[in-house]
Amino acid sequence: MLVLGMEIVFTKSRKGMPVIVMGPYRFNKVVSAGPKFRWRCTRNVHGCRALVYTFYDEVIHFDRYYFLTVKKW
């Protein structure tokens, strides 16, 4: 699946936790309610406030604005 030209990959972290990789960004699962999940950008300490919402492993919403405000490493 492509969103804004970035491929979305569902994978697992080194510790076995679910992770979404979208281009250079990684998202950790933070909230679940049945088949609906909310994922938070792992660069939140660098200013990334992006959230991704999924429903049955399909991205249903995310706010592109937050990607544009991330400080570079």
- Looking at the chain, the whole-number percentage of residues with pLDDT higher than 90 is 42
Residue 73 in any domain: the answer is no
pLDDT at position 73 is 45
pLDDT the model gives residue 6: 78
Instruction: Note whether residue 15 is domain-resident.
Output: yes
How confident is the model over 15-22, as a mean pLDDT?
94
Residue 19 lies in a domain: yes
pLDDT in tens, 24-54: 889 999 999 999 999 998 887 777 888 899 9
Answer whether residue 39 is part of any domain.
Answer: yes
- Into how many domains does the chain fold? 1
Residue 24 to residues 9, 36, 42, 55: CA-CA distances in angstroms? 11, 24, 11, 22
Residue 23 forms part of a structural domain: yes
Domain extent for 7: 2-68
Decide: pTM greater than 0.95.
Answer: no
